[in-house]
Structure 1
Amino acid sequence: MAEAMGRRERKKQLSRQAILKAAQQQFATRGYKETSVADIMNAADLGTGTFYNYFQSKEEVLMALLGDSVEMVEAAVRSEKEAGGTSVDLLAAGIKATASFLDENRYVLPLFLAASERAAEPRPQEAEHGSATPGFKGIFEEIISQGQLAGEIRNDVPAELIAEMLHSIYQAAAFSKLEIPFRDNVAMKTCLLLNGIRKE
């Protein structure tokens, strides 16, 4: 019986991964808005009704895909922390990792920007079904708060406001009219902002 349960769980995981992979492909080729749940499930070679056993909505799939970049940011921040970096160094590492992910996966950028306003809190139905809302602002905010406590970051500005400004760098770079590559644009803006919040 345990073996049957194990097989069932593996099958469920494979189906979920197939849906995510198909969604990634469809979003890349059709665009997020133009992709329907039926398109995703056809590409996954699964019945459309099966979708709702794993996700509540197309937006929930988007959030799951964006979770990859959250993991990348967290890994970059951990690595910088282990190397003895300051809170400002941790922020720089996290921002750089996010910019790299978005630059290497350009189709994700509009999805990232569309989701950014929803990133503050998971909705009750998302939490209930295990969907992770990307926590970029939360990651930055936590580092900033710790930096303020450590006396590395100025504390006359709320951590939430600084985190919001850092998060908006990607949108500003994405819509920039300057002939500067996306990553360089993000890096320059990041440098200016971090110099402004660093406590002397």
Structure 2
Amino acid sequence: MENVISRRDRKKVQILNTLVDISMELFVAKGFEETTIADIMKSADLGTGTFYNYFQSKEDVLKYVLTQKFDQAKNSLERLIKSTISPQEKISQILVILGRIYEDNRQLFGLINHLGPNQPPHGPEFKDILVSIIDEGQKNGDFRKTIPIEIVIETFMGLIKSAATSHSKIPFMENLNYKLDLFLNGLTEKNNK
């Protein structure tokens, strides 16, 4: 049976998308702090009260957009975790997926500091995915068992941040791939003694 969306619901989705698109354009163009809800609604050609039917604050708009991006990444990662490729290849592909998402959304991720001291809205699911892959790799001998999973995760998460803040002239994805190579060489067991 076909899922038919009512005209009213289509209008709600259209307004939501308009609010998000205009908000993000203004956050990037004017700056997050300088953009007001009145600015957003004026650009959207809607009454200010309409904003509050969808969001409670500018921060909520930002959280909504970040959640959408993390959900897209999560779906890709869940497909990846079910694949039969090696844990090492899974780790490589995760970093490439996350790196591309970051590279395509640099301006968005530059706004995260406006959410305050809380973590971005991706929840514990991402960490759980990494833990399961690292655990799988340690159990089947692909990864060293002598390194605590927490350290592996911290180091892995630092790779994107390190590539993103690098002052090197090496392009972001190439920089990230070099760091991934170093990371995996340290994570995998070497029996060259």
TM-score normalised per structure 1: 0.73
The superposition leaves residues 73-112 of structure 1 with CA deviations (integer Å, 9 ceiling, x where unpaired) of 2344345445522233223222212211222233123125
The superposition leaves residues 17-76 of structure 1 with CA deviations (integer Å, 9 ceiling, x where unpaired) of 111111221123223333222222222222222222212222221122123432342344
| C-alpha distance in structure 1 between counterparts of 2:150 and 2:36, whole Å | 35
Counterpart mapping for 1:97-116 below 5 A: 97-112=97-112
- Unmatched segments (≥5 aa) in structure 1: 121-132
Q: Which has the larger radius of gyration?
A: 2
Query: Structure 2: which amino acid aligns with 1:14?
Result: Q
Q: Is the 8 A contact 2:81 2:133 kept in 1?
A: no
Query: Structure 2: which amino acid aligns with 1:162?
Result: V
- Unmatched segments (≥5 aa) in structure 2: none
| C-alpha distance in structure 1 between counterparts of 2:135 and 2:153, whole Å | 13
Aligned to 1:53, the other structure's residue is in SS state coil
Q: Does residue 144 of the first structure (1) align with residue 134 of the second (2)?
A: no
**1:146 Cα shift?**
4.2
Query: Structure 2: which amino acid aligns with 1:27?
Result: F
| C-alpha distance in structure 1 between counterparts of 2:114 and 2:95, whole Å | 18
Identity of matched residues, % = 29
Query: Residues 142 and 105 of structure 1: is their aligned pair in 2 closer, same or farther, counting only changes over 3 Å?
Result: closer
RMSD: 3.0
Q: Is the 8 A contact 2:16 2:54 kept in 1?
A: yes
| C-alpha distance in structure 2 between counterparts of 1:107 and 1:194, whole Å | 29
| C-alpha distance in structure 2 between counterparts of 1:77 and 1:58, whole Å | 29
Q: Is the 8 A contact 1:144 1:153 kept in 2?
A: no
**1:11 Cα shift?**
2.3
Aligned to 2:20, the other structure's residue is in SS state helix
Structure 1 segments of 4+ aligned residues over 6 angstroms from their partners: none
